[in-house]
Structure 1
Amino acid sequence: MSMSLEERLTELEMRIAFVDDTMTTLSDAVASHDRHLHDLRNAMERLRTELVAVRGTLGNDAGDEPPPPHY
């Protein structure tokens, strides 16, 4: 059986609506992941800054120490 033109249009409209809904859902997920990644990058930068400050406060860096005598 052949579908009428109206049935074919209705089928296409339903498919387009499904694709549109899927794209919206995926776009929201990508935006959420982007915000989360941005927050993680900011947290890592804060930790890096704090680590540099702690190393400066301690006043000694293991890389600056001479090697032990047995080397």
Structure 2
Amino acid sequence: MAEHDLSERIEALEVRLAYQDETIETLNQTVTAQWKQIDALTRQLAALSERLDQAETSAGAPANERPPHY
């Protein structure tokens, strides 16, 4: 009887381990995809920031400065 119970417990643990392995792989794929997206967004933000800096530099006077007739 005890040997049968031990066998069932081992089988249950093996099933749980298989599901955990699948879950870990899915989570790993999700994290990898998110890091790729974060990296792309970070590069895009840096490029937009650089374009904004260039536009502000080439525009001359700041946009929020009062016009001379005030």
Aligning the two structures, in what range does the TM-score lie when normalised by the shorter sequence? Answer: 0.7 to 0.9
User: Matched residues in 1 for 2:10 and 2:47: separation?
Assistant: 55
The count of residues paired between Structure 1 and Structure 2 equals: 67
Residues 1:45 and 2:46 aligned together: yes
The runs of 5 or more residues in structure 2 that have no matched partner are none
User: Matched residues in 2 for 1:11 and 1:43: separation?
Assistant: 48
Residues 1:35 and 2:36 aligned together: yes
Which 4+ runs in 1 deviate beyond 4 A? none
User: Matched residues in 2 for 1:54 and 1:32: separation?
Assistant: 33
The runs of 5 or more residues in structure 1 that have no matched partner are none
Tell me the C-alpha RMSD between the 2 structures: 2.0
User: Matched residues in 1 for 2:28 and 2:51: separation?
Assistant: 35
How far apart are 1:31 and its partner, in Å?
1.3
TM-score (norm 2): 0.79
